[in-house]
């Protein structure tokens, strides 16, 4: 039987592994029913997103961010605190867009439930300058495709 430390690490890696293709249901499956996702980084701060809000946001990005991938930065392992049930991840996100390749970095802090199997809370710190430069491009791509990109605060 895996230890709580191992379960926390396994859950965190499975969670970020659910992002390829960005199928919202696969991502939400790792989140607790009351999970909140917060994007933090100075000017990019958004209000907390519930599972329903996060699902809608991901769905709105799918047409403009194809082949979305989220993975650990090379050479960086998860930092796991089993006592607090927190996992910190240094991540790279990549995607194909109509304006070229998207590649951004972020730090995600996951808080897990008592079992270490569900994500209760996500705090995401992302490169605000890079993201700010991409938001108008993604919004333009959404308009050109006849879709609407769901806005999350300043993000």
Domain boundaries, the chain: 4-141
Strands, E assignment, 1-152: 31-40, 66-72, 79-81, 86-97, 100-112, 119-126
Band of residue 110 on the pLDDT scale cut at 50, 70, 90 = very high
Structure tokens at 1: 């039987």
DSSP 65: S
CA distance 71 to 95: 12
Q: What is the pLDDT of residues 44-97, one digit of tens each?
A: 667 899 999 988 888 888 887 888 889 999 999 999 999 999 999 999 999 988
Chain-centre distance of CA 72, in angstroms? 12
Structure tokens at 86: 């927190």
Q: Specify whether the CB–CB gap between 5 and 45 falls below 8 A.
A: no
Residue 149: pLDDT above 70?
no
* CATH classification for the domain delimited by 4-141, as one of 3.60.10.10, 3.10.450.50, 3.40.50.300, 3.40.50.1820: 3.10.450.50
Residue where the block lists tokens 């392992």: 77
């Amino acid at each position: 039987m895996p230890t709580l430390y191992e379960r926390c690490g396994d859950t965190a890696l499975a969670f970020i592994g659910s992002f390829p293709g960005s199928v919202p249901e696969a991502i939400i499956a790792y989140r607790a029913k009351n999970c909140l996702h917060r994007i933090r980084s100075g000017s990019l701060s958004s209000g907390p997103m519930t599972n329903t809000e996060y699902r809608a946001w991901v769905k709105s990005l799918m047409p403009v961010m194809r082949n979305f991938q989220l993975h650990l930065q090379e050479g960086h392992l998860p930092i796991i605190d089993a006592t607090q049930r927190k996992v910190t991840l240094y991540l790279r996100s990549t995607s194909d867009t109509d304006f070229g390749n998207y590649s951004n970095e972020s730090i995600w802090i996951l808080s897990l439930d008592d079992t270490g199997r569900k994500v209760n809370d996500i705090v995401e710190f992302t490169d605000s300058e890079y993201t700010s430069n991409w938001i108008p491009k993604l919004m333009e791509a959404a308009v050109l495709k006849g879709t609407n990109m769901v806005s999350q605060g300043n993000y």
